[in-house]
């Protein structure tokens, strides 16, 4: 098991570019942006990977504070593994200190599930990460629900949140950011009992 002094790499998954910014598939970017704001950092281009990063500390001052690297891969979603693995290696982050924040079809809109390891459930970003570095990283899964009627999954995830969903989105992104902070500060079990729904 890794020790408390080792850094954490928190990766918001999404697609780069303004046309994707408000898509369901980009909720990982939304959470990463909020976490960056909380630690007072601005994303800048990474030296060693196709990604934007912010470095800082998260949690209360003192021994409970954690060194974090927040990242948004600037490859497309299905190529996320390369940039994430490059950042993990560059910053010497243990794989179990990597957290992928991503949209999840099989959970109701707004529900959260935190877990360590597991399958990719058809999510192309996770599939790419697991292929690059194995499955033993944390996931913060943000529920987006299933597409309505006969809508294709690819069309659904690349659409913006509905106007009804947008009314709750800021609160839910805030809660997802809280869950990541709790995971780092108090561990997976405490974060799961507080936030898994």
Residues designated as active site: 25
List residues bridging with 100 in a β-sheet.
11, 139
Cβ-contact 52, 71 below 8 angstroms: yes
C-alpha 183: how far from chain center: 12
Closest CA to 11 of 61, 47, 49: 49
Sheet of 98-104: strand order equals 44-45, 51-58, 66-73, 8-12, 98-104, 138-143, 112-116
CA distances from 14 to 22, 58, 65, 103, 125 (A): 10, 22, 27, 9, 8
DSSP label at 50?
S
Pull the structure tokens for residue 54.
């912010």
């Amino acid at each position: 098991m890794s020790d408390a002094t080792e850094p954490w790499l928190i990766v918001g998954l999404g697609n780069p570019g303004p046309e994707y910014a408000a898509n369901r598939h980009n909720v990982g970017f939304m959470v990463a942006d909020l976490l960056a704001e909380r630690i007072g950092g601005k994303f800048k281009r990474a030296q060693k990977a196709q990604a934007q990063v912010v470095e800082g500390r998260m949690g209360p001052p003192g021994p409970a504070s954690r060194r974090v690297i927040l990242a948004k891969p600037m490859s497309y979603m299905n190529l996320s593994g390369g940039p994430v693995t490059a950042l993990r290696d560059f910053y010497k982050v243990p794989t179990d200190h990597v957290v992928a924040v991503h949209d999840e079809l099989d959970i109701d809109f707004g529900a959260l599930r935190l877990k360590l390891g597991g399958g990719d459930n058809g999510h192309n970003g996770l599939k790419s990460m697991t292929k690059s570095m194995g499955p033993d990283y944390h996931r913060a899964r943000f529920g987006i629900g299933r597409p309505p009627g006969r809508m294709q999954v690819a069309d659904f995830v690349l659409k913006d949140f509905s106007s009804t969903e947008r009314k709750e989105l800021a609160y839910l992104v805030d809660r997802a950011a809280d869950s990541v902070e709790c995971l780092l500060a108090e561990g997976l079990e405490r974060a799961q009992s507080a936030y898994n729904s």
